[in-house]
Each structure stands twice: as structure tokens, then as C-alpha cells.
Structure 1
Amino acid sequence: MPARRFDRARVRAVRRAAEISQSEVASALGAADSTVAGWELGSSAPDQEKLSALAAVLKKPLDDLFPRDGLPDLTDLRCDAGLYRYEMAAVIGTKSAGPVAGAENGVRRLKDRYLPDLAEAYGVSADEVRRAQERSMAKARGEEVEGDAPTDVATEEPPRSLAEKITFLLEGSYPAGARPTDMEIAEAVNAHAGSGVTTAEKIETLRTGAGDAGAPAPIVLEGLAHFFGVTRLYFEPDDAVARQVYEGLHLLSAAKSGKIGRVRARGLGVEGLPPDVLSLLNELATDFQKKTEPGADR
């Protein structure tokens, strides 16, 4: 989205009114006196990353001194925080700034585990980082983003990993200051299971996607589903859900043709279809059978 506008005449007027010398500005920004002079003469312009510091030196709000039309994308948030792209590796704890560069260029979205660190570095919420990311994606596609929907449903991909799904529920179901802690979630899961099946540290690992905790036990997923008020299927991998839906439809088809009576979860691994899904399929199968019996209303 649009970068902030630098008006050399306004900067010069504000600086003079505040009785601040070019040399003082240069010293505060770590620049040469000639560089600041060049900005005011119009022979050059400061990097976008310098504008927040320049506004602070001139004792003016950033939005007032360097206005921007529209809402910020990821690059804008970084620049407003006075950070250069090469510095982002240290912020998110990676060997390079590649993940941030890819998201800013609209190539690929950031992993959820990077969002808290970026939000802290940028001085905004994780949700604001997410929305800015969608603007970067739209910009790469040559699209215009109107308004500021909380989750930018039109462009955001649905959560896929377990960490993304937990984060989506937390950010979408609770106000920023009222979200449950990892300890509260762990206690709720343990209460549902009737034993200590997880800890706050393990919940944090599942929520952030950091480390290698492995696949959580089924009872943990059941506890999470109960806590958030969603179906257990929500936490299953997409391919597993698709497989179960396919099996369900296949069984319904068999029931409709009279090949089976009650539905059984065969061939679905040790867990099979969840009991509530089986119950629903059996009800539907019974209904199909009634409708296909001789004399039934068609």
C-alpha cells in the first residue's frame, strides 16, 4: 500500500519552528549533515525506515508529519517501526529475513509463530500484522483492498496447521485482553480428560508451532475441541477430514442402496469416525432406507 509522503518544505518549516538545526537532526538520526540538507533541498529523500525517527526528532506525530493514504501493509509496519528488512532475521529468530521478505512481496504468508515477535517489534497487535499481510498479498496480485475487515475474510486462507487453528480461535473468539492463558487451556483440557494429559508448556508448543512436540494425543484434541466449543474434526489435518467425509458419503450411498444396515467405521484406523458423526450418519442412513422402501412417499 502507499508509502508515507515526504514533504521537504514542511520538514524544513517544522524544523525551523522548533529551532532545531540540521546538524542536530543529523546527529539524532546517525546521518551526515549534508544528507539532511539534501532532504530539505529535494536532491534526495530519507528512507521510509527513517521517517519515524525524523518525526520524533521534530516532535511531531508520524501520521501528521508524514501522512499516508490508505491502510498499512507489512512493509509500512516495518518502516514505521524504523526497522530495515535485514534486521528482521534477529526479530523472528531465523538465519535470514527471507520469511519477512516473502510476505512483504506477497509471495508467501508468514508462519503464525512469527506474528507475536513481529507485533512486538512493530508496536501493534498480531491481528494488525495479519491484516497488513493480507494487504501485501492483495498488492502483489494487483488488487485494491477496501476497508479494514477484522480478518480480511475475502483474501485470507483458512488456518491449516494445528497452531494456526488454535491461534485463529483465540484471536477470533476473545478480546485481546481476555484471551485464556496456556495454563488455563491446559487445566481445562486436563479437567475434560480427568487426568494430567498436558501442561501449559505443551499447549504453548501446540499454539506457536515451535519445537517438535509431535502429534498430540487424541484426548488432548478432544479437550481442546471441548474448551473452544468446536468439533474434534476442526483440529484434524485437512486430508484426514476429507477422508472421513468421503468414507461417510460412501457409507451413506451403500445404505441408500440397501447394501448395509447400521453404519460401522471400518477402514478408518484406530479411531474411526467420531461417535457424533457415526450417530448422524446412522440417522441419515435410516432416513434414506425409509424413503426407498416400497410405498414410501417420493
Structure 2
Amino acid sequence: MPARRFDRTRMRSVRRAAEISQSDVASALGVADSTVAGWELGSSTPDQEKLSALAQVLKQPVDSLFPRDGLPDLTDLRCDAGLHRYEMAAVIGTKSDGPVAGAEQGVRRLKDKYLPSLAEAYGVTVDEVRRAQERSMAKARGEEVQREAAFVPEAEEPPRTLAGKITLLLERSYPEGTAPGDAEIAKAVNAYAGAEVSNPEMMAALRTGSAGTPAPVVLEGLADFFGVARLYFEPDDAVVRQVYEGLRLMSAAKHGKVGRVRARGLGSEGLPAEVLSILNEFATEFEKKAGPTDNE
């Protein structure tokens, strides 16, 4: 299934900007505080069944906060409704969840009498359930449509200006259409500083290059929001290139081009050996998860 993408950094930034504590999130979702902390640290990820509720707690549309490539199948509809498979027997009035499990796995179609109950539980129409079922069946037959990999520039210089650096982070760190706005960034910077040190107009001016260098606390807040080193916003080419090449690798990994980026050496000027080693380990891990590519 085209599972929703969970971005721990994005979740943390949105939560902080909304001034919602980890404890509040945990209480709303019925999990331990340490569980939410683990999600944001990257030591674990929330179940797909919890993402819709998590987005609601963070006051964000689920499709914006946790986007999904492609259209939903039956499993996606169930997860978006926050329902686990073991709960489906009660929904359709059977002794087991077998009918739903079989349909989700593409083994056999649901009986028509089950469709209205599922549509009501999922908050969709019967026709949407039927279409999702066909996607589950198509997937079981190996008929998934492969998305075309995005183009990754062969040669490109890292940004030199503050505006360029902010723009790069917005373009490369978030799925299309989900980058935070100026108001969200300003709110997070103010929360970091513990004072009103920025506003949406200032963020827009910094992003477009129409403002001068801001106060150090603003740069520190930006670094915290985007999850990068404070030095990234300083005129230090080595640090900028390291962050830049890491973002390029992330972008390539998302689109199945890790091997090609790694083979280029990650930049004509080169990186420190320890940084290159870490990035190559990252690339190798992605290759293991994704399997062989056409470039190999």
C-alpha cells in the first residue's frame, strides 16, 4: 500500500509551533510520553492507524502533514479511519476479520453486504470502498504503477545567501506542498527564543533576500526549526556543503537514485572522509531497503 510518509522533524516543528507538549500528544493518543518522544527522536515510528489522529491533535490536515503517494487501497482507508484489522469483525458483523483481511491482501473480494458498513466506518462512500478494493486486488497481481523518479541535478552549487539556504531547506526537506509557511516558522523561532524576535513579514523578507542579517537568536531558532547546525547559516562553505550534499542525498534516496549520487562522490569539491563515510552508509542502508535499482 502507498503508506503515509512520517517525518519526525516535521512533526516536531509543527508541534512546537502549535505550542503542544509531547505529554498532550501522548494523552490524546493514549500512548506513553516516551512513545511520542521516541517518534520525534527517530527511535520508533507511529502505526499508520495513528497518523490521522496525530494530525488532528497537531491541528493539521493529514494529507499535508503525512502525505501519501498514490491513491488509497483498502488498508489505507482502514488506517486513515484509525481502525486496526482486529476491530473489523465487529464493524461488518462477522466472527473474524477474515473477509477484510482477505480483501486487503487481494485474495478475495468483499461481499457486497459488507461494503456499506465499511464505508460508514471509514467515512467514505461505497464507491470509494469499491475503488480501493480494486487497487488492493491490482497490487496483489503485481500491477502497481511505478512512479517516475525525479531528476537530481548532476552539478549544482550550494547556496551562498541566507535566502538561498532557507529556500533550499524548504524545497528539499519537505514533500511537495507541505513546506511550512512564514507564520509557522516565525512562531517556532519565537518559541525557541522565548520572546517575540520575529514575525511572518520578517521570515518572508529573509526567505526572499530583501532583509539584512537577523539577530543571532533568530538564526539559532531557524537552525532548531529546520534541524540543521547553527553554522549552516554562517558564511562557512564547508558546513554549507555538508548540509547541502546531505539534502541532495535525501532527495535522491526518495526517488531511487542513491547509487548514482554516491558514485559521483557527492560533490566536486569533496567532503571530509568521516562525513562521506556516514553519507555512504546512509545510501547503502537505503539500497538494502529498496532493493537493486536499474542503475546497478
Q: Which is higher, the Rg of structure 1 or of structure 2? A: 1
- State the TM-score, normalizing by the size of structure 2: 0.49
- State the TM-score, normalizing by the size of structure 1: 0.48
